[in-house]
């Protein structure tokens, strides 16, 4: 029996004004995704993983796993430049009972394909949880060639790949590996290719935009699983339209985080008209800004984001 398609949301990490992690607010983001029926990827690109310390990643993942409570699956990105630290992180995550460990390609260190095979195989050898390759060459400058993915798919504990490269021909090549190797699942990263990827054999998607539109992402998956191509296509069009408008403004993960910030503050203002109550609501709920030197708050940009959110029915 062919397994049902599934969606993961690359969960944002929430911060306080002093840039410490806001665990309460992050748990509330987990609750939003549970309500929609989406699984979770913790400490990914949209989760500011490169700005988090080792200890913070472990604590954050523990909080997410606890909040998820088995209602949805949780995988976590352990990827770091060196195999040594990646394995150390992966083992710490494994002890938390995660459903899988994603490993982004090493960054800063230029790798040969043989080096990537050794890197990923070492991690997969060292943990019980299934390992998923994570290819995003625009950010890491290291790319998992389809032939390398095929070689790694033969490892008993490497169960799939997330493709965030954005090149359809590469995704097609990974999908061929998934077709040829039983138990090797392919997940699409680009938000505009969710429906296309499902129709062409992907197991599912791992999406950053799902932070902003969790219900629409879930609708694509649900419609596809029940065989309603028209509804899946309509939901994809809605999803792609927001992606097109929002990502025109800047770096996608920063725009996702900022869109949530604008939504947080709008909801906080509407639910809590008293200034003190509003401040307390925002402190407990808001995703906050990203750690520096990432995007700084900008009134003009926030207004542009608010206009887009209103256009797409996400803001009153």
Q: Are the C-beta atoms of 92 and 123 separated by less than 8 Å?
A: no
136 is in an annotated binding site: no
Strand partners, 40: 9, 74
φ, ψ at 131 (rounded to 5°): -105, 140
162 is catalytic: yes
Residue in this structure with the two tokens 């080096």, named with its chain if needed: 115
Of 134, 174, 187, 224, the active-site residue reads 134
Distance CA 251, CA 242 (A): 14
Strand partners, 9: 40, 207
Q: For the residues of 269-281, what is the DSSP string, one character each? A: HHH--SHHHHHHH
Of 5, 57, 159, 162, the active-site residue reads 162
Distance CA 274, CA 207 (A): 36
Strands (E) across the chain are located at 6-10, 39-42, 74-77, 100-104, 131-135, 158-163, 185-188, 204-207
Distance CA 59, CA 89 (A): 11
Distance CA 296, CA 289 (A): 7
Q: Residues with Cβ < 8 Å from 158, sequence gap 6 or more? A: 120, 121, 124, 130, 131, 132, 133, 152, 184
Catalogue the active-site residues: 134, 162
Binding residues for pyruvate: 206
């Amino acid at each position: 029996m062919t397994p049902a398609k599934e969606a993961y949301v690359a969960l944002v990490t929430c911060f306080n004004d002093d840039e410490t992690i806001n665990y309460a607010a992050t748990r509330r983001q987990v609750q939003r995704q549970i309500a929609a029926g989406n699984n979770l990827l913790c400490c990914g690109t949209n989760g500011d993983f490169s700005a988090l310390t080792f200890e913070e990643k472990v604590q954050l993942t523990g909080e997410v796993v606890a909040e998820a409570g088995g209602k949805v699956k949780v995988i976590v990105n352990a990827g770091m430049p060196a195999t040594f630290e990646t394995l150390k992180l992966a083992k710490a995550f494994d002890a938390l009972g995660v459903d899988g460990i994603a490993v982004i390609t090493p960054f800063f260190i230029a790798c040969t394909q043989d080096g990537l095979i050794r890197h990923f195989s070492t991690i997969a050898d060292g943990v019980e949880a299934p390992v998923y390759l994570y290819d995003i060459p625009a950010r890491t400058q290291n790319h998992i060639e389809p032939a390398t993915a095929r070689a790694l798919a033969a490892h008993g504990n490497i169960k799939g790949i997330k493709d965030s490269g954005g090149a359809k021909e590469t995704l097609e090549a990974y999908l061929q590996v998934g077709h040829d190797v039983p138990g090797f699942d392919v997940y699409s990263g680009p938000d505009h290719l969710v429906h296309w990827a499902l129709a062409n054999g992907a197991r599912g998607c791992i999406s950053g935009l799902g932070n902003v539109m969790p219900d629409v992402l879930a609708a694509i998956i649900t419609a596809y699983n029940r065989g309603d191509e028209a509804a899946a296509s309509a939901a994809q069009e809605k999803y792609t339209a927001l992606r097109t408008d929002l990502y025109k403004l800047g770096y996608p993960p920063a725009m996702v985080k900022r869109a949530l910030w604008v939504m947080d503050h709008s909801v906080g203002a509407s639910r809590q008209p008293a200034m003190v109550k509003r401040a307390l609501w925002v402190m407990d709920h808001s995703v906050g800004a990203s750690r520096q030197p990432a995007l700084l708050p900008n009134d003009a940009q926030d207004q542009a984001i608010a206009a887009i959110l209103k256009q797409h029915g996400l803001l009153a």
